[in-house]
Amino acid sequence: MPIQSVNDFVVRFANVNGSGSASANQLFARSIMRMGVPVSPRNIFPSNIQGLPTWYEVRISEAGHMGARGNCDLLVAMNPETWGEDVEGIEPGGYIFYDSSRPVPKSAFRDDLTILGMPLTELCLKRYSDPRQRQLFKNIIYVGALAALLDIEIAEVEKLIGEQFKGKDKLIAPNHEALHIGYDYARANFECPIGVRVKRANAVGDNIFIEGNAAAGLGAVYGGATVCAWYPITPSTSLAEAFTSYCHRLRVDKDTGQKKFAIVQAEDELASIGMVIGAGWNGARSFTATSGPGISLMQEFFGLAYFAEIPAVVFDVQRGGPSTGLPTRTQQSDVLIAAYASHGDTKHIVLFPEDPFECFEMGAQAFDLADRFQTPVFVLLDLDIGSNHRLCKPLKWDDSRQLDRGKVMTAEELEAGKEFGRYLDVDGDGIPYRTYPGTHPKRGAFFTRGTTKDEYARYTELGAPYVRNMERLLKKFDTAKKFAPAPVQRKASRKTDLGVIYYGSTGPSMDEALDLLEKDGVHVDGLRVRAFPFANEVNDFIAEHDRVFVVEQNRDAQLRTLLMVECGIDPAQLTPILHYDGTPITARFIRKAIGEAINTATGGGRKETIG
């Protein structure tokens, strides 16, 4: 029986990298969104520019589930090389759309599939003589065919093409033509629509469609970053590039053409973080964007910034490690290296955005935190939210908001004789005052160093001032708990002694999984952690539940380790639920893993949670 589903299915495009499929696939996703139906697309791409297999997966979900689902209902098979595994990944009773210009033996299909063959290459050869056109329009032709098959309003696709080529109007008509070649062919040769289809809805609202990296880059603009030093690395590059592009639009003085920003593509990650720290020392808001290998390289500098107390913001768009690992796949495996970066005793503020909306918010807030606490702040995105478009709430900004520069002593205060000790805790919160270089002719200068010093920044190797300083740093870190984004609780529909802690891009899949578990009769309270150091609510949440699952996208249960160490939790109380094959975690996986964990522990069910 072919799958029947309206506004709830997955389409997977299997393409060849560099064939120009990306923009056509995005056109497909956007046109569904324009019909008021939420989509969540994902690029699955190799570390390659041309020739290797690449996939684009679009989850269509009127319910608004933004997490990956797993498998697909309709495969658009444009890459013979991956045919076998692609066909395997179709749900029972699914559909396959393929280029039938060359015969494919019946044995290559499955009996349960609905087969939709269309001679795409042949149609292109007939219509176009230029090889590049043949390739590019082939992609638009299949979008046209899919519009017919899935009942997507062709007018929405046409409108999007118009918007895309605004200013290059010559390209609109040929694209419309290609679209109709596909659309008309499908209507003439297949029974349209098929069992999975799109129906206009009103579930998108005023949500926006943006990549996390772009949102974080924009957050840095709004957060007042003026210096960006970076080194290209997948999947963080588009964050620095988005910052650059937004700055060129929003931060260039209209009269003079002068720029209110400085962006340097450095020679490596060491230089990137060095520049960020130099700029932070000198009072400019500065950041770098990188991924795991870059974080590894920057370690020595993080210790300096922690110990010398210099603000710095680091966006880490996580990918699969260790080493070069899975460079184009997603993971949450930099939690511990960020939290404890560098040699010696160090701890850092770490933020965990779940979607582009939070990438923007935390991208801006990170700069306030870095200045307030005079320390590096890590914003841990990952490839799944960083380099994929995601529907999220529209971005918002409070126009009355000022940049929180933290405790900076001014020339006037120094002139008035206010006592200045660079590492002196005058307010009891562990945060000392600093001065920007060049503030006052006679007062407030100090020597910054990574070596031990006393409260007045004077070099010393004595144990007592060293210990005082280290203890003050702990106090400062504790103060940060109240300023960092608070965790978000999600209560189960009935009282339960099961809890689950999760963070970052796991959010959407977890939300969906909790719904599914509720339907299974498994009630679990959720707590989405949004920052390290952990707020006291995290300890309370664990204390309130007999058993807490910690869902993560890494092998070693890194957040669980951090919870055990920092909150003093008995390991037996925290059950790891781990997904780390490089694909984004799914609600299906979480539901199954939590379900199994409960059954294993209780030998078949818990009366109080399974009803």
Partner 1 sequence: MSFLPKPKFRHPAIETNDLGFSHRDYEGAISTLCAGCGHDSISAAIIKAVYELSLPPHRIAKLSGIGCSSKTPTYFLGASHGFNSVHGRMPSVLTGANLANRDLIYLGVSGDGDSASIGIGQFAHSMRRGVNMVYIVENNGVYGLTKGQFSATSDKGSKNKRGVVNTDSPIDMVSMAIELGATFVARSFSGDKGQLVPLIKAAIEHKGAAFIDCISPCVAFNNHEGSTKSFDYVRAHNAALNALDFITPRAPITAEYGEGESEIVKLHDGSQIMLRKIDASHNVHDRGAAMAAIHKHKAAGEIVTGLLYIDEEPVDLHAHLGTVDAPLNTLNAPELSPGQAILDRLNAALR
The least distance separating partner 1 from the CB of residue 220, rounded to whole angstroms, comes to 10
Is 203 a binding residue for partner 1 by CB under 8 A? The answer is: no
Nearer to partner 1, 178 or 247 (CB): 247
The least distance separating partner 1 from the CB of residue 23, rounded to whole angstroms, comes to 16
Q: Under rule CB under 8 A, which residues in 301-330 are in contact with partner 1?
A: 301, 304
Are residues 292 and 318 in contact, defined by beta-carbon separation less than 8 angstroms? yes
Mark the segment that binds partner 1 (CB under 8 A) among 93-101, 167-175, 266-274, 578-586: 266-274
The least distance separating partner 1 from the CB of residue 324, rounded to whole angstroms, comes to 21
The residue to which tokens 């093409």 are assigned: 161
Buried b (16+ CB within 10 A) or exposed e, 111-147: eebbebbbebbebbeeebeeeeebbbbbbbbbbbbbb
Cα distance between residue 580 and residue 554, in whole Å: 5
Q: Which of 286, 269, 418 is nearest to 341 (CA)?
A: 269
Is 28 a binding residue for partner 1 by CB under 8 A? The answer is: no
Q: Quick one: which of 131, 232, 344, 441 contacts partner 1 (CB under 8 A)?
A: 441
Q: Under rule CB under 8 A, which residues in 377-416 are in contact with partner 1?
A: 394-399, 401-403
The dihedral built from the CA positions of residue 414, 418, 422 and 428, taken in this order, carries a sign that is: negative
Q: Quick one: which of 344, 447, 571, 596 contacts partner 1 (CB under 8 A)?
A: 447
Is 440 a binding residue for partner 1 by CB under 8 A? The answer is: yes
The least distance separating partner 1 from the CB of residue 255, rounded to whole angstroms, comes to 11
Q: Under rule CB under 8 A, which residues in 66-125 are in contact with partner 1?
A: none
Q: Under rule CB under 8 A, which residues in 462-491 are in contact with partner 1?
A: 462
Are residues 13 and 42 in contact, defined by beta-carbon separation less than 8 angstroms? no
DSSP bridge pairs for 40: 59
Cα distance between residue 85 and residue 560, in whole Å: 34
Nearer to partner 1, 267 or 570 (CB): 267
Cα distance between residue 235 and residue 81, in whole Å: 25
Q: Under rule CB under 8 A, which residues in 226-255 are in contact with partner 1?
A: 226-227, 229, 250-251, 253
Q: Quick one: which of 102, 126, 200, 259 contacts partner 1 (CB under 8 A)?
A: 259
Q: DSSP 3-state assignment of 195? A: coil
Nearer to partner 1, 170 or 396 (CB): 396
Is 439 a binding residue for partner 1 by CB under 8 A? The answer is: yes
The least distance separating partner 1 from the CB of residue 186, rounded to whole angstroms, comes to 28
Is 570 a binding residue for partner 1 by CB under 8 A? The answer is: no
Are residues 454 and 467 in contact, defined by beta-carbon separation less than 8 angstroms? no
Written as one string, the DSSP assignment of 111-170 is: TTSEEEEE-HHHHHHHH--SHHHHHHHHHHHHHHHHHHHHT--HHHHHHHHHHHTTT-GG
Cα distance between residue 108 and residue 235, in whole Å: 35
Q: Quick one: which of 13, 45, 261, 373 contacts partner 1 (CB under 8 A)?
A: 261
As a residue count, the chain comes to: 611
Are residues 544 and 571 in contact, defined by beta-carbon separation less than 8 angstroms? no
The least distance separating partner 1 from the CB of residue 265, rounded to whole angstroms, comes to 10
Is 257 a binding residue for partner 1 by CB under 8 A? The answer is: yes
Nearer to partner 1, 51 or 344 (CB): 344
Is 344 a binding residue for partner 1 by CB under 8 A? The answer is: no
By CB under 8 A, how many residues form the interface with partner 1? 79
The least distance separating partner 1 from the CB of residue 524, rounded to whole angstroms, comes to 34
Q: Quick one: which of 8, 177, 241, 300 contacts partner 1 (CB under 8 A)?
A: 300
